[in-house]
């Protein structure tokens, strides 16, 4: 028996590397810098944007090696990689940009907590980007990694379908604003600002959804209403987990600084930090509203139940005296034995008088309940 228990114990404690394939962490004891590629990840697509004050180039490249001639030039080179589904391409990308193995690990192994890491000649910023859904309330969320070099910026996204960088691309192509006259650190700021500003359309949708739920909770709360509130609370929690560390990372970048970030761009980063704080305040406010809606829903359901019980009580109270009268006259006493055995049974107008008496009692009880205010529906809130 003891040997059997030991075998069972070993079976339960034996490491199983396969079960870690779909997890967000490595198998314990894995070497630092190990890359784990998700089987469902889309293949990477590489876009190159190289620009200066008087020149602009935008193209799709097939291999990371095609970007080498642009990395040491005086122009600003933005290499945008969309997709994480090819380990060979990613390793070659690490060689081209001379990425530290831990940088490549943080970039590829998602989801990673938003943070900032300084590697002397490179600056790594991992952010969480959200894009609102076009059909329903909700958002797409993906990790975006920014590797800032002296003359280049490398961005790596999880998905090629959704991002909030199109406005920056248009500004670069059409030379709007000062972005074409600024350095690569300003480009990094512009992308970070676009990521933070991407939270506002999502929060606007949640604000409208909370207003509709408030009306629904007050007028007609149902089980589906409770599910909607619970779903919104979970999604707002995801937004909070995304924006909170990003705010701290931007604050650390402003406070500690970097040789790759100029003083002018640090001033712009303050505005980006203010936007992150504003997003954080809105998320906290909406979470409190969702929690309040949950309390209002429970109160509305309780009031609705009280109204039902009150109605049943009123009906029962009305029928109690009527049942008493009907019960007495249903005993069928024999009036021939005694004149005191319900002489009303022999009255000519006995039946109409009994019906009239019961109607008068019911009407009197209803009037009494109405005067006391017991017939009013307390669960209905009238709005001007």
Instruction: Name the pLDDT band for 32 (thresholds 50, 70, 90).
Output: low
Give the rounded percent of residues in the chain with a pLDDT score beyond 70.
86
Q: Is-contact 184 73, C-beta < 8 A?
A: no
Instruction: Identify the residue with better confidence: 145 or 29.
Output: 145
- Asked if pLDDT for residue 200 goes beyond 90, the answer is yes
Q: Give the alpha-carbon dihedral of 346, 347, 352, 355, to 10 degrees.
A: -60
Higher pLDDT, 287 or 31: 287
What is the rounded CA–CA span in Å between residue 278 and residue 281?
A: 5
ω before 10 within 30° of 0 (cis)? no
Query: Would you say 58 and 173 are in contact if contact means Cβ atoms under 8 Å apart?
Result: yes
Band of the pLDDT at 300, cuts 50, 70, 90?
confident
Q: How confident is the model at residue 22 (pLDDT cuts 50, 70, 90)?
A: very low
Q: What is the pLDDT of residue 354?
A: 80
Assess whether pLDDT exceeds 60 at residue 24.
no
Average pLDDT over residues 350-360: 82
Mean pLDDT of all residues in 338-346: 72
- Residue 377, pLDDT > 80, answer no
Contacts (Cβ under 8 Å, ≥6 apart) of 84? 37, 38, 41, 42, 44, 90, 108, 110, 156, 158
The overall average pLDDT reported for the chain is 82
27 confidence band (pLDDT: 50, 70, 90): low
Predicted confidence band of residue 257 (pLDDT cuts 50, 70, 90): confident
pLDDT at 6: 42
Residue 202's closest CA among 168, 252, 169, 243? Answer: 243
Kind and range of the H or E run holding 143: strand 139-148
Highest mean pLDDT among 15-24, 94-103, 318-327: 94-103
Most confident of 240-249, 292-301, 311-320: 240-249
pLDDT at 91 over 70: yes
Q: If we measure between CA atoms, which residue out of 111, 276, 112, 266 comes closest to residue 196?
A: 276
- 58 backbone dihedrals φ, ψ, rounded to 5°: -135, 120
CA atoms within 13 A on the CB side of 124: 23
Protein fold of 304-371: Methane Monooxygenase Hydroxylase; Chain G, domain 1 (1.20.58)
Report percent pLDDT > 90 for the chain. 34
Which CATH code for domain 41-180?
3.30.460.20
Domains 41-180 and 304-371 belong to one CATH topology: no
Question: Which range is most confident: 25-39, 58-72, 217-231, 299-313?
Answer: 58-72
Quote the CA–CA distance of 44 and 82 in Å, as a whole number: 5
Predicted pLDDT at 286: 93
- What is the reported pLDDT for 190? 95
| 377 vs 228, residue with greater confidence | 228
Domain spans in the chain, listed from the N-terminal domain onward = 41-180, 304-371
Q: State the average pLDDT over residues 46-70.
A: 91
Task: Judge contact between 150 and 143, C-beta under 8 A.
Answer: no
Q: What is the pTM of this model?
A: 0.75
Mean pLDDT value of segment 235-239: 92
| Lowest-confidence region among 133-142, 265-274, 293-302, 372-381 | 372-381
135: helix, coil or strand? coil
- What is the structure's pLDDT at 135? 66
Q: What is residue 249's predicted lDDT score, i.e. its pLDDT?
A: 92
């Amino acid at each position: 028996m003891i040997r059997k228990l030991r075998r069972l114990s070993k079976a339960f404690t034996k490491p199983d590397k396969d079960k870690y394939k779909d997890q967000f962490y490595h198998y314990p004891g894995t070497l630092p810098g190990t890359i784990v590629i998700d089987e469902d990840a889309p293949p990477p697509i590489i876009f190159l944007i190289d620009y200066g004050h008087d020149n602009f180039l935008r193209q799709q490249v097939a291999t990371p090696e095609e970007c080498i001639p642009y990395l040491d030039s005086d122009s600003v080179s933005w290499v945008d990689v969309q997709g994480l589904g090819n380990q060979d391409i990613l390793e070659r990308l690490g060689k081209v940009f001379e990425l530290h193995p831990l940088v490549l690990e943080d970039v590829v192994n998602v989801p990673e907590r938003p943070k900032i890491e300084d590697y002397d000649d490179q600056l790594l910023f991992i952010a969480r980007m959200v894009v609102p859904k076009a059909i329903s309330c909700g958002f797409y969320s993906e990790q975006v990694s920014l590797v800032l070099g002296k003359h280049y910026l490398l961005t790596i996204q999880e998905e090629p379908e959704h991002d909030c960088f199109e406005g920056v691309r248009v500004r670069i192509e059409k030379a709007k604003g000062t972005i074409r006259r600024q350095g690569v650190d300003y480009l990094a700021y512009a992308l970070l600002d676009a990521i933070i500003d991407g939270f506002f359309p999502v929060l606007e949708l949640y604000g409208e959804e909370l207003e509709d739920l408030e009306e629904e909770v007050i007028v007609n709360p149902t089980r589906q209403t409770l599910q909607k509130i619970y779903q919104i609370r979970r999604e707002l929690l995801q937004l909070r987990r995304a924006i909170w560390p990003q705010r701290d990372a931007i604050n650390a970048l402003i406070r500690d600084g970097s040789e790759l970030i100029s003083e002018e761009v640090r001033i712009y980063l303050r505005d980006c930090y203010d936007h992150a704080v504003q997003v954080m305040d809105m998320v906290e406010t909406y979470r409190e509203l969702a929690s309040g809606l949950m309390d209002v829903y429970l109160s509305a359901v309780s009031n609705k139940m009280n109204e039902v019980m009150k109605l049943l009580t009123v009906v029962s109270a009305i029928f109690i005296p009527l049942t008493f009268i009907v019960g007495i006259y249903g005993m069928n006493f024999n009036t021939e034995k005694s004149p005191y055995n319900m002489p009303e049974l022999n009255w000519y107008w006995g039946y109409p008088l009994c019906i009239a008496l019961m109607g008068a009692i019911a009407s009197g009880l209803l009037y009494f309940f109405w005067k006391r205010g017991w017939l009013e529906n307390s669960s209905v809130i009238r709005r001007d």
